[in-house]
């Protein structure tokens, strides 16, 4: 079989040849790429020469590029364009990858060579980046069992294989539950309050499914208009409960046992490696360093946010009582928040959406990237795509030098998981004098165009686009030698800084005037709307902060102690939420069984990092505000000290090089109006 995944890509920009890649290519490609990588490792181990940085560390860093490329393509497709067949392949190849990873990490001869170099590091005259790679590899080995005995290594292999399967199963169950649900409405009066574009989309979906009426789903652009605008409380309740019970129903997709399996496996793994808990293991390589520091950070914010959150909750309750709602429930929160926002500011998402045509917002974020970092974006049509709605862009600097290949994938579909994320199909690195540039992608689930309107974004979707584009800039502007330190390969509680800081531009008049124009008559977003958008930045922020803190605390509870005694997922979750819960519990719902960030994504013992990064981003943007949001000198500092450096320098050192001082949470608390 002629397998395109196993050849150099003879394509523009060496982009992935999606049209030539078939499902049957993946497993043989993985098998061959793993074999190639094993051969490369074997040659390092069997090399009779004295171990040197070049023949061990450099050789390792560039030994698995074929496997890395295949993995990127496969797992990105499995997230954005999956099928039953791809999911089956994922279940087959994930254990193979875990086994290979363990073959490397538990290879004693290889580790001894690395250790030899590590113990000589002070005498080797290494660059800062070389030293960081060496330390990362050495610590990576010790953190993954290199010092274990034979029996312990065998246990670790079993745990890692089981974890990889359980994590995949968790995600498949959530996706299956999401796809299985549909809210069918046949009586038009029940649609009252739901925006026309959402109704039109629901009508089109019903037609596609050959159903009479309107169909709403748990996909974000379909779900949010119902819970935010539907006047019919029963509809809001039905779809909210359906969303909240993903993975918590008595069916084949129940995730309760999967959750318990994952947390117990993670804890056993951590203990085997000599750590008190999974959180202790994870946080050793985070800016926060220890679970105690994370708890102190979360509790400090909780103490400051709770009075404001309670005040805002009462305000919302009192407002809902005017409608005869005596007890405010979870499915009332978005609806009455939106109504209160409309009353206080005379502004809502539906008034703003006409000014946020997707194409204009994309052009706007490109223009902002140009003003800040001298980047140019040109849409191109000679690169393969994996779905007809995906677009590709050539990214260059002011000298027309290639910076990156950029993919965008914006609309929901059956094979795409919910949420929004940035990823890459190819990392940046420098090898043999060639600076190989990255292929970066952002994937979202925005409201699609309808027959009568183009794709129009809610303001929340605008900030989401900016957020993911901030991650993309981190990937695009990478300029490091080693792929393992490139772009977003930084400590996890630092990775959200570039994304969250860019969201701030959405609230600034100078930026909004670049792209916020009415899709029909091109009139600019009215000044009073801009002023209100700035005020809205802190609307119900106490409640939002409490919500985010509750997720971070739940994550730490799952991963900060021995979970062996936990028998009931829901009871454990309720106990974890006791200091942050404002709404009464819904018996049919459970957060953990669909908490993909920590049970399928990379955020286990790390969900707090969103808030941690908010402290960094508020402090960083305060600097931009002081100097001007398009100040080239400040932008260059951020580009050179944060965006281009990847993981070559410790995050706090990168941040202080940019800011001139360490961050504090004052800017965040002021921005959220949690302090005056």
Question: Which pLDDT band, with edges at 50, 70 and 90, does 220 fall under?
Answer: confident
CATH numbers and ranges of domains, the chain: 4-105+107-147 (1.20.1050.40), 181-244 (no CATH), 258-342+542-609 (1.10.1370.10), 354-541+610-671 (1.10.1370.40)
Query: Mind listing the pLDDT tens digit for each residue in 631-665?
Result: 999 999 999 999 999 999 999 999 999 999 999 88
Q: What is the pLDDT of residue 537?
A: 81
User: What number is the average pLDDT over the span 410-432?
Assistant: 93
Supply angle C-alpha 547, 550, 553, rounded to 5: 155
Q: Once rounded to an integer, what is the mean pLDDT over residues 330-356?
A: 92
Number of C-beta neighbours around residue 651 at 10 A = 20
- Please give the positions annotated as active site: 468
d(CA 545, CA 543): 5
Reported confidence tier of residue 302, pLDDT bands at 50, 70, 90: very high
pLDDT at site 69: 95
Averaged pLDDT score across all residues of the chain = 95
Convert the pLDDT of each residue in 449-467 to its tens digit: 988 999 999 999 999 999 9
State percent of the chain over pLDDT 70.
100
CA 65 to chain centre: 23
Confidence of residue 172 (pLDDT cuts 50, 70, 90): very high
Token pair listed for 97: 């990858």
Would you say residue 332 has pLDDT above 90? yes
Q: What is the pLDDT of residue 652?
A: 92
Do 648 and 487 form a contact (C-beta atoms < 8 A)?
Answer: no
Pair 382, 390: CB distance under 8 Å: no
Overall pTM surpassing 0.95 (yes/no):
no
Residue 58 reports pLDDT greater than 80: yes
| 1 pLDDT higher than 80 | no
What confidence score (pLDDT) does residue 282 get?
96
- Best CA proximity match to 467, nearest among 436, 435, 495, 508: 495
How far apart (Å, rounded) are the C-alpha atoms in residues 148 and 108?
10
Beta strand 421-426 with 429-431 is: unpaired
Angle, vertex CA 404, rays to CA 401 and CA 409, nearest 5 = 145
Q: What is the 3-state secondary structure of 105-144?
A: HCCHHHHHHHHHHHHCHHHCCCCHHHHHHHHHHHHHHHHC
pLDDT one-digit tens code per residue, 33-44: 999 999 999 999
Q: Is the pLDDT of residue 667 over 90?
A: no
614 vs 616: CA distance, rounded Å: 5
The residue-averaged pLDDT of 432-441 equals 96
Q: Give 320: exposed, middle or buried? Use CB within 10 Å, 0-12, 13-18, 19+.
A: buried
Q: What is the pLDDT of residue 387?
A: 97
Residue 676 confidence (pLDDT) above 80 = no
Tens of pLDDT, residue by residue over 317-327, are 999 999 999 99
The model's confidence at residue 264, banded by pLDDT at 50, 70 and 90, is very high
Share above pLDDT 90 across residues of the chain, in percent, rounded to a whole number: 89
What pLDDT score does 653 carry?
A: 94
């Amino acid at each position: 079989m002629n397998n395109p995944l196993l050849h150099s890509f003879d394509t523009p920009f060496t982009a992935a040849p999606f049209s030539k890649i078939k499902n049957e290519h993946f497993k043989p490609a993985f098998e061959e790429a793993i074999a190639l990588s094993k051969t490369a490792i074997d040659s390092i181990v069997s090399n009779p020469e004295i171990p040197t940085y070049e023949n061990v560390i450099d050789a390792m860093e560039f030994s698995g590029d074929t496997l890395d490329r295949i993995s990127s393509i496969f797992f990105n497709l499995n997230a954005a364009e999956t099928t039953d067949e791809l999911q089956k392949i994922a279940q087959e190849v994930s254990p193979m990858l875990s086994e290979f990873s363990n073959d490397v990490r538990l290879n004693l001869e290889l580790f001894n060579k690395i250790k030899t170099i590590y113990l000589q590091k002070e005498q080797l005259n290494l660059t800062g980046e070389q030293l960081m790679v060496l330390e990362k590899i050495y610590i990576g080995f010790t953190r993954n069992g290199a010092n274990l005995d034979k029996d312990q290594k065998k246990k670790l292999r079993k745990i890692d294989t089981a974890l990889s399967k359980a994590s995949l199963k968790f995600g498949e169950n959530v996706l299956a539950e999401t796809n299985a649900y549909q809210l069918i409405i046949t009586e038009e009066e029940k649609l009252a309050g739901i925006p026309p574009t959402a109704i039109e989309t629901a009508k089109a979906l019903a037609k596609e499914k050959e159903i009479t009426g309107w169909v709403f789903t748990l996909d974000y652009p379909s779900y949010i208009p119902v819970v935010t605008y539907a006047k019919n409380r029963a509809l809001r309740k039905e779809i909210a409960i359906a969303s909240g019970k993903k993975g918590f129903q008595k069916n084949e997709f129940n995730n309760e046992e999967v959750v318990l399996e994952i947390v117990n496996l993670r804890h056993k793994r951590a203990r085997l490696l000599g750590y008190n808990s999974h959180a202790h293991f994870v946080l050793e390589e985070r800016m926060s360093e220890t679970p105690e520091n994370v708890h102190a950070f979360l509790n400090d914010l909780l103490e400051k946010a709770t009075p404001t959150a309670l005040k805002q909750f009462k305000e919302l309750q009192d407002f809902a009582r005017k409608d005869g709602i005596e007890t405010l429930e979870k499915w009332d929160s978005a609806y009455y928040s939106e109504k209160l926002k409309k009353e206080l500011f005379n502004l809502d998402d539906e008034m703003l959406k006409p000014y946020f045509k997707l194409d204009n917002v994309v052009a706007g974020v490109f223009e902002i990237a140009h003003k800040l970092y001298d980047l140019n974006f040109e849409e191109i049509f000679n690169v393969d795509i994996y779905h007809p709605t995906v677009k590709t862009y050539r990214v260059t600097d002011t000298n027309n030098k290639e910076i990156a290949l950029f993919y965008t994938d914006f609309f929901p579909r059956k094979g795409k998981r919910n949420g929004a994320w940035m990823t890459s199909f190819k990392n940046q690195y420098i090898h043999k004098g060639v600076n190989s540039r990255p292929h970066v992608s952002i994937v979202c689930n925005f409201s699609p165009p309808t027959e009568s309107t183009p794709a129009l974004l809610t303001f929340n979707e605008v900030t989401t686009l900016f957020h993911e584009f901030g991650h993309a800039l981190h990937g695009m502007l990478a300029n490091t030698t080693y792929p393992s330190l490139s772009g977003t390969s930084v400590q996890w509680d630092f990775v959200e800084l570039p994304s969250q800081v860019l969201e701030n531009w959405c609230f600034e008049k100078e930026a909004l005037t670049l792209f916020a124009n009415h899709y029909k008559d091109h009139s600019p977003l009215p000044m009073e709307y801009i002023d209100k958008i700035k005020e809205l930045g802190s609307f119900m922020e106490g409640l939002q902060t409490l919500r985010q803190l509750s997720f971070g605390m739940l994550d730490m509870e799952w991963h900060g102690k021995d979970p062996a005694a936990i028998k009931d997922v829901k009871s454990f979750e309720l106990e974890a939420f006791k200091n942050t819960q404002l709404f009464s519990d819904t018996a049919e719902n459970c957060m953990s069984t669909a908490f993909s960030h920590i049970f399928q994504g990379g955020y286990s013992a790390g969900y707090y990092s969103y808030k941690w990064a908010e402290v960094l981003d508020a402090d960083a943007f305060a600097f931009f505000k002081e100097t001007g949001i398009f100040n080239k000198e400040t932008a260059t500092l951020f580009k050179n000290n944060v965006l281009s450096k990847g993981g070559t320098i410790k995050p706090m050192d990168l941040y202080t090089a940019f800011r001139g001082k360490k961050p504090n949470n004052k800017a965040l608390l002021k921005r959220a109006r949690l302090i005056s």
